[in-house]
Structure 1
Amino acid sequence: MLSVSSLATVVAASLLSWLAIAALRPWLGRVAAAKPDARSSHRTITPQGAGIGVVLAILLTGGAATLLAGAGETRLPALLAAVLGLTALGFVDDVRPLAWRPKLAAQALAAVLAVASLPPEASLVPPALFWPERAVAALALVATVNIVNFIDGIDEITLAHSAPAFAMAAMAASLVPAGGATGPVAAAGLGAMLGFWPWNRHPASIFLGDSGSLPLGLLLGWLALNLALAGQPVAALLMLLYPLADGGITLVRRFLAGRRLTEPHRDHAYQRAVDGGVRAPRVARTVALVSAAAAALGLASISAGNPWIAAGLGALALGAVFGLIAAWLRRSGRTA
């Protein structure tokens, strides 16, 4: 269960996120409108960039909660800079799409800053391998940023997988000796996404945009890294299981088919499900259900304190999510 302070952070972040989006929406409608194209799931011009309000709520309420808890860390400004940098990058891309190479370079820089904010004692390898481990962590963050961005393609789906992930990270903070700021940041992330939900409920009146999906991917990846480096790799994987599975399977399938990985497409399982006749709200609810189940199994794996039990719970979650993705891909194939 969430503590009283975490619940207060959730409520404050939810209210601030909703209000910030309400204030920003008229302006975003003028400068960052998303026009439908062949890859779009929406059919009308819709404002995007609500991520600015979401990130604002996370940083203000999460930062305040961290200070009140006395968990402030000298390395957190690096994470703050990384989150703000990706928010700015994403907003520029929302207004005028950028080439993938400069975007990837900026994401790599943000990942390095976020990794620099990890506690120095958070490591699973001997001291001689510390820096290679940190390099792998940065690469993992870049991958997570892009995968979360890829999955943000229909109404409510980013809330569907991120809310359970943030809730799990907030509750795991009391069970795992990770960084002291992980609990407040995760609670703020949960609240901010709940405040975004009324605006993004199908049919959405505003989209998160890259200004939200990029920094959210960084924060989710950072929280998962804290779990993994604290000795809970299974829980870290289950926290992000749906986006990692859908994104990973899609990249592998496109690579094997000889298609360009940087080319826009509609090959993700959730997109194929919608194209195959499943309504977007049902897809989002299904993602929320499997993500919540995976998060619950992740928390159970932490509580079990046994690597074999954790592996079994992880296998159970993997089977459920991969089965869902396979079913969506088969359905789309039959109806195409």
Structure 2
Amino acid sequence: MSQIAIPFSSWLVLGPALLCGAAALTAGLIVLLRPWLARYALARPSARGLHSVPTPQGGGIAVLVATALAAGIGAQCTALLPGDATRLGAVLAAAAVLAVLGLIDDIRPLPALPRLVVQLACMAVGVWMLPEGTRLFGIMPLGLERALLVLAGAWFINLTNFMDGMDWLTVAELVPISCGLAMFWATGLLPVVPGLLALGLLGGLAGYAPFNKPPARLFLGDVGSLPLGFLTAYGLFALGGSSAAGGGALAGAIILPLYYIADSGLTLVGRLRRREAVWTPHRSHFYQVAAQRDGVWSVLGRVGVTNAVLLWLGIVSVVSGFAALGVAALAMAVAVVAFLLLTLSGRGRDASAGP
């Protein structure tokens, strides 16, 4: 198993250094890139986004570069097991391919099928490069499990892309997930490669956040949302199959992104029932409906609080190591997310108003 627990005293130095370095590098690159992005990569108002004026996109380039450099430097300062350097390089290479795909799509939209094929291929690389011994469903044949993970990962890449339609929403979602994954690595519950990537991603998002604060001056673009969704899925799969985390690992890996999964999944089901073309832009996500009704900050506050609760429940599930406690935490997480979706849809408020 590719599992390394570095001394906590060393992590207290390495962790903040990588975090701050990635944040500073991201912010610096954004300042340098923004004039070019404003000229060549403008996101114009559309049926998907909630912004009303053309806004530069492509900030994901800076986030991904900072994530890769932070992870690479961290790997030089950390004891790696055989194969870890190859895993890190292959995962970053797949993320770079997705970034190029996203950059092309940002400038000139691509057909859905070629995008999906590339996403599946990159996710296959990510699944193949999971830490040695990673198993999420022990009773399932390994080949079938890996095939399902590729499909689930491609879906997560796309849901990250589709959900990135409101200022700060991706930050509010991926920061808690990255924080949780980095914490699990620091305590020896997550292998080093996904841990380093999570720490670098956390720093990159911190550097990007001020530019995406409502009203946003910059968006990630597909060049950012596709590889960031990929790296997050990779980390969650590694957590779910981590033997060091015990019986609560899989539940924790589901809990952390549960709001994203629920909002995008239920919206997808609703669009399929209405026989809509699910790959086309729209504003029917729960957060989009609520933002148009209540405003962006109202939605961000509710989503932020919910994700903080999910982070706590995920930590409880993983650290406990008990499957039963993980199931209980997952049930609580489902209830919390259901309440959030109820309020975002407006039904909870209508019900409380009485006849």
TM-score bracket relative to the smaller structure: over 0.9
In structure 2, the residue corresponding to 1:181 is in which secondary structure? helix
Match of 1:284 in 2: 300
CA contact (8 A) 2:26 2:204 kept: yes
Match of 2:318 in 1: 302
Q: Which moved more, 1:259-268 or 1:57-66?
A: 259-268
Match of 2:57 in 1: 48
Match of 1:225 in 2: 237
In structure 1, the residue corresponding to 2:190 is in which secondary structure? coil
* 1:100-111 equivalences in 2 (<5 Å): 100-111=112-123
Amino acid at match of 1:48: Q
* 1:137-148 equivalences in 2 (<5 Å): 137-148=149-160
Unaligned runs of 5+ in 1: none
Aligned length: 333
Structure 1 269/203 Cα, relative in aligned 2: closer, same or farther at 3 Å?
Answer: same
1:132-164 deviation per Cα after TM superposition (whole angstroms, max 9, x unaligned): 211111111101100111110010000001000
User: Counterparts of 1:214 and 1:126 in 2: how far apart (Å)?
Assistant: 29
Amino acid at match of 1:35: R
* 1:153-168 equivalences in 2 (<5 Å): 153-168=165-180
User: Counterparts of 2:193 and 2:18 in 1: how far apart (Å)?
Assistant: 13
CA contact (8 A) 1:176 1:227 kept: no
How big is the shift at 1:260? Answer: 2.2
User: Counterparts of 2:47 and 2:159 in 1: how far apart (Å)?
Assistant: 21
User: Counterparts of 1:126 and 1:321 in 2: how far apart (Å)?
Assistant: 28
1:62-117 deviation per Cα after TM superposition (whole angstroms, max 9, x unaligned): 11112211234322222111100011111111111111111111101110111121
How big is the shift at 1:18? Answer: 0.6
Amino acid at match of 1:41: L
User: Counterparts of 1:54 and 1:286 in 2: how far apart (Å)?
Assistant: 25
Structure 1 39/176 Cα, relative in aligned 2: closer, same or farther at 3 Å?
Answer: same
How big is the shift at 1:37? Answer: 2.8
The partner residue of 1:216 within 225, 228, 234 is 228
Match of 1:274 in 2: 291
Amino acid at match of 2:313: L
* 1:70-149 equivalences in 2 (<5 Å): 70-71=79-80, 72-124=84-136, 129-149=141-161
The partner residue of 2:253 within 227, 230, 236 is 236
How big is the shift at 1:333? Answer: 11
User: Counterparts of 2:331 and 2:12 in 1: how far apart (Å)?
Assistant: 29
In structure 1, the residue corresponding to 2:346 is in which secondary structure? helix
How big is the shift at 1:242? Answer: 1.4
Match of 1:317 in 2: 333
CA contact (8 A) 2:106 2:223 kept: yes
Amino acid at match of 1:29: A
User: Given the two structures, how large is their TM-score scaled by the length of structure 1?
Assistant: 0.94
Unaligned runs of 5+ in 2: 1-7, 351-355
User: Counterparts of 2:341 and 2:257 in 1: how far apart (Å)?
Assistant: 15
CA contact (8 A) 1:156 1:281 kept: no
Structure 1 237/128 Cα, relative in aligned 2: closer, same or farther at 3 Å?
Answer: closer
Amino acid at match of 1:241: L
Match of 2:72 in 1: 63
Match of 2:42 in 1: 33
Amino acid at match of 1:62: A
User: Counterparts of 1:125 and 1:29 in 2: how far apart (Å)?
Assistant: 46
Amino acid at match of 1:287: V
Calculate percent identity across the aligned residue pairs: 35
* 1:253-272 equivalences in 2 (<5 Å): 253-272=270-289
User: Given the two structures, how large is their TM-score scaled by the length of structure 2?
Assistant: 0.89
* 1:144-223 equivalences in 2 (<5 Å): 144-175=156-187, 177-223=189-235
CA contact (8 A) 2:168 2:212 kept: yes
Q: Which runs of 4+ in 1 moved over 6 A?
A: none
User: Counterparts of 1:12 and 1:251 in 2: how far apart (Å)?
Assistant: 38
The partner residue of 1:18 within 14, 24, 27 is 27
How big is the shift at 1:223? Answer: 0.4
User: Counterparts of 2:279 and 2:48 in 1: how far apart (Å)?
Assistant: 14
Match of 2:343 in 1: 327
User: Counterparts of 2:76 and 2:234 in 1: how far apart (Å)?
Assistant: 19
CA contact (8 A) 1:155 1:281 kept: no
User: Counterparts of 1:97 and 1:115 in 2: how far apart (Å)?
Assistant: 27
